[in-house]
Structures are given as C-alpha cells and as structure tokens.
C-alpha cells in the first residue's frame, strides 16, 4: 500500500512538473511573440551581432546614442532585473539603476502594454534569450545636454502612462488592433508628427494628428489614416493586412525603415492580429480636409511612347525605370511596385520619392525568401537636377498629383544619407 501511495504521489508531482513546464513554455512563447510585435530586436541588435546585445547607433537632434544590451547577462545586460525593474524600464522609461531612458526607447507607446504581456516578455528575455557579456556604449550627446533628470519633466508633460483600456462599442478585432498599433507596434513613433520638444503630438486616436504622417530620417512616414490619395483611404482592410504580412500590395511596397518592420516584426504576427491592426487603421478618419481618389490617366504612357521623349524626367524614366515599372506606371503585379496611384509618391513631402531614387531600398525578406528584385540606388548615375526632374515626372504622371521636386531638396538628402544595404538579413531572436 505504501508503495502504491508513493507511486501515486510521485506521479502527481511529475504531472505537476510537466504542467508547470508547459505553462512556463507557453508564457515564454507569448513573450517572444510580444517581443516580435514590439520589434525589440531591430533596435537592440546590429546585423551580424548577437541578438539583443545592443550597439545600434541612433541619431538624435542632440547627438548619437546607442541601444543597450538587454540580454540576461548580469553585468552588462538586464540579468539582475526583477519583474518590477523590467516593467518600470519598458513602460516608464526608468532603468534599474535609476536613470531615465532616452525616449528613442518608445516607452510612451509601451506604457499601454498589459501587465500580463510585460510578465510574458520578462519570462522570454530571462529564460530564452542567451546572455551576452557586452558593455554598453556611452552616448555621444555632449554635456550638459546629456543630463537625464530633465526627462522626468518631459515625461510629466508629454507621456500618458495609462494602460490601454478596451473601448466600449468596438468589437474584439478593433480593440486588439488598437492595442497593438498604439502599444506594442508603436506605430506612432514614426507616423505621428513631433513637436519642437521631440514628443509625439498625440499618442492615440483621440487626436486627428495621431498617425497623420511625419518626416523621419530624410524619409516621409506616410499618413496611416483615411487620407486620399496620400494615406490609406483607398486601401481595404485586406490591402493593409497584406502589406504588413508581405511588405507588398497593389499600391506599393515597403521601403526605408518599414522594410525592417516587415522583416523583423509584422510578418511573424498572426493573421488575426494583422486583421485587427488593419481594422483599427481603416477606422481612423482622414487628417486632411481635402481628399480625393487617385484617377488613372494614360496621357503619361502616350508621352513616353513618343521618340524622343520630351523633358529630362521622361528621358530618365525610359533609361532607368521603365524596365521594372513599365510605361503604364503599373509595374509587374505587387512585386515590382506600381508608380501610378502609389501612396508614397503622392505624399506632399517628397523626401521618400527623392531618397528611394538616390539610395534604393533594402530587400524585403518574408518566410526566409528575399525579394528577387530591389530598388537600386541611382545617386551615382543621376545629378541633383536629373533626380528632381525624374521625381517630379513620376509624382505628376499617370494621374498622380504631388508637388514638384527641386534640385536643392535632392542635394540636402544626398548630403545626409547613404545607399541602402543590399545585405539580406532577418535578425534572429535567439
């Protein structure tokens, strides 16, 4: 009898251990998913380096800073952090040592994350991420501008530390999408305008400035609201979800920093979550008062068929662009992007149009497969005047209706940027 009782007790303990391990694994898996949705790896890693070991150089108006080591190393990383320490760093921007984090860390958005998601992320970082002993690099912000205590005042003025609360009258998909867009996805960090104090002027959809588009490192992060044509007004929920999943849809392809978002974050999210994000974005009213659909015109195609073509822009297009984007401006399906009706090309801010002609774009990599074609850089082939004429030609062709580009605008972006890397890489998280 004692033997049977001991066996039963042993089996019970074993069953409890198996159940506890399964629960632990589920928590870690959830944390990994939230870390992907938050795209932690893109800022806290460098290509070819260990995941989350820091070192990425990030420009700020006051000088460069470097992303920190967030592996569980106890000396150089966050291995000594308790759950409360981790929570305070992620949601409030305060390190364990007590100093405040620069808001390049998007804690104004992460403040909305749930307590359960923070706990899951903590479990993932502490139990699944390999520890890397790598000292953090000091910032290059000169004294006295590198003092951290003024950030407490900045936070008081500009950050809402309330958690996301479900909005009554909205369905589950909308609320899940709002939570991901406002919180983990921190979409506003790039797509919302900033004030002179470098704060996002809005942190949620209570203000129409939220996600209304903003300049970003000589790109223009477009409006994610229902603006037409330079916004998501003509995109369906399915179009938005496809773009987040693959980096492509019938209106264009990902470029600039958005390539990193697709490569390292959104492609790994569930279809349900992407649909939720798309549903939420589709619900945001336009920020601009005047909106209209793009109406295709074949007059540009007819002009291109003339020999010789009229104007520097048309000639440059035939020499460098037609092979991929064809004379109709429609490209080839979703993989060689259409220029007619392309949302980014019709942005009033021409930065993205100029930047992508000068510097090209990195490759999108989905499910381990890199795009066969990427936009190459043309800075070595075209003068500032030629780039301006070409960009103007494209931004006004096939029914596009965007302002002209000047050589001075091209010169500024040329001087402050460099060609996109052709390196094919998706950052690993383990």
Nearest to 87 by CA among 181, 154, 176, 161: 161
DSSP code at position 266: G
**Which residues constitute the domain of residue 284?**
172-416
Domain boundary among 96, 125, 158: 158
Q: Do 138 and 280 reside in the same domain of the chain?
A: no
What is the enclosing helix (H) or strand (E) of 43? helix 40-43
Kindly report, residue by residue over 232-259, the tens digit of the pLDDT: 999 999 999 999 999 999 999 999 999 9
Phi (first) and psi of residue 389, to 5 degrees: -65, -40
Q: Is residue 169 predicted with pLDDT exceeding 90?
A: yes
Q: Which two tokens stand for residue 119?
A: 């706990």
Phi-psi region of 138 (alpha: psi -120 to 50; beta: other; left: phi over 0): beta
> What is the per-residue pLDDT for 146?
87
The verdict on 191 and 267 lying in the same domain is yes
pLDDT tens for 296-348 read: 999 999 999 987 788 899 999 999 999 999 999 999 887 888 999 999 999 99
Q: Does the structure show a pLDDT above 80 at 17? A: no
CA distance 346 to 222: 10
pLDDT at 323: 94
Domain tally for the chain?
2
φ, ψ dihedrals at 243, nearest 5°: -60, -45
Name the one residue in this structure whose structure tokens are 């074949």: 298
The answer for residues whose C-beta is within 8 angstroms of residue 320's C-beta and 6 or more apart is 378, 381, 382, 390
Percentage of residues of the chain with pLDDT beyond 90: 81
Of 126, 158, 190, the residue at which a domain comes to its end is 158
DSSP string, 171-199: -HHHHHHHHIIIIIT-THHHHS-B-TTS-
In this predicted model, what pLDDT tens digit does every residue of 204-242 receive, in sequence order? 999 999 999 999 999 999 999 999 989 999 999 999 999
Q: E strands along 157-260, which residues?
A: 214-216, 219-221, 248-249, 252-253
Q: Domain check: are 236 and 258 in the same one?
A: yes
Residues 229 and 153 in one domain: no
pLDDT grade for 10, boundaries at 50, 70 and 90: low
pLDDT at 191: 97
Task: Among 158, 192, 207, identify where a domain stops.
Answer: 158
Cβ–Cβ < 8 Å for 370, 393: no
Same domain, 192 and 244: yes
For the cut 90, the answer to whether the pLDDT of residue 393 exceeds it is yes
Question: What is the mean pLDDT of the segment spanning 245-274?
Answer: 95
Q: Quote the CA–CA distance of 316 and 116 in Å, as a whole number.
A: 55
In a domain, 7, yes or no: no
Instruction: Give the separation between CA 366 and CA 191, rounded to whole angstroms.
Output: 23
Q: Is the pLDDT of residue 23 over 80?
A: no
Q: Residue 74 has what pLDDT?
A: 97
At 4 the pLDDT is: 58
Residue 163 lies in a domain: no
- Rounded mean pLDDT, 360-377: 90
Furthest C-alpha separation in the chain: 100
What CATH number does the domain containing 372 carry? 1.10.760.10
């Amino acid at each position: 009898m004692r033997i049977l009782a001991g066996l039963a007790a042993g089996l019970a303990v074993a069953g409890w251990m198996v159940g506890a391990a399964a629960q632990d694994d589920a928590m870690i898996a959830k944390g990994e998913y939230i870390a992907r949705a938050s795209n932690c790896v893109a800022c806290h890693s460098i290509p070819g380096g260990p995941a989350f070991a820091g070192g990425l150089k990030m420009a700020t108006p006051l000088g460069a800073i470097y992303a920190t080591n967030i592996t569980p190393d106890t000396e150089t990383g966050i291995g000594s952090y308790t759950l409360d320490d981790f929570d305070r760093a992620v949601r409030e921007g305060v390190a364990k040592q007590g100093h405040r984090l620069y808001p390049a860390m998007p804690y104004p958005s992460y403040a909305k994350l749930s307590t359960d998601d923070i706990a899951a992320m903590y479990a993932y970082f502490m139990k699944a991420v390999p520890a890397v002993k790598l000292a953090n690099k000091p910032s290059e912000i000169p004294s006295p501008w590198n003092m951290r205590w003024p950030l407490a005042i900045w936070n008081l003025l500009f950050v809402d530390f309330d958690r996301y609360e479900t909005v009554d009258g909205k369905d589950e998909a909308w609320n899940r999408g709002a939570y991901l867009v406002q919180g983990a996805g921190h979409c506003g960090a790039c797509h919302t305008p900033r004030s002179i104090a470098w704060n996002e002027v809005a942190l949620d959809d209570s203000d129409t400035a939220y996600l209304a588009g903003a300049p970003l490192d000589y790109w223009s992060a477009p409006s994610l609201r229902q603006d037409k044509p330079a916004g998501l007004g003509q995109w369906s929920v399915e179009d938005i979800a496809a773009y987040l999943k693959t980096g492509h849809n019938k209106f264009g392809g990902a470029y600039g920093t958005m390539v990193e978002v697709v490569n390292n974050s959104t492609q790994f999210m569930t279809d349900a979550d992407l649909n939720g994000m798309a549903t939420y974005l589709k619900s945001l009213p336009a920020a601009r008062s005047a909106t209209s659909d793009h109406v295709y015109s074949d007059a540009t195609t007819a002009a291109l068929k003339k020999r010789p073509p009229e104007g520097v822009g048309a000639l440059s297009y035939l020499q460098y662009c037609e092979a991929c984007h064809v004379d109709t401006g429609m490209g080839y399906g979703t993989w060689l992007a259409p220029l007619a009706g392309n949302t980014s090309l019709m942005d009033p801010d021409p930065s993205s149009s100029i930047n992508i002609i000068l510097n090209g774009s990195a490759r999108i990599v989905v499910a381990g497969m890199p795009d066969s074609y990427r936009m190459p850089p043309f800075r070595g082939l075209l003068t500032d005047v030629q780039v301006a004429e070409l960009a103007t030609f494209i931004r006004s062709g096939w029914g596009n209706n965007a302002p002209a580009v000047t050589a001075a605008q091209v010169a500024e972006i040329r001087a402050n940027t460099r060609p996109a890397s052709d390196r094919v890489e998706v950052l690993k998280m383990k």
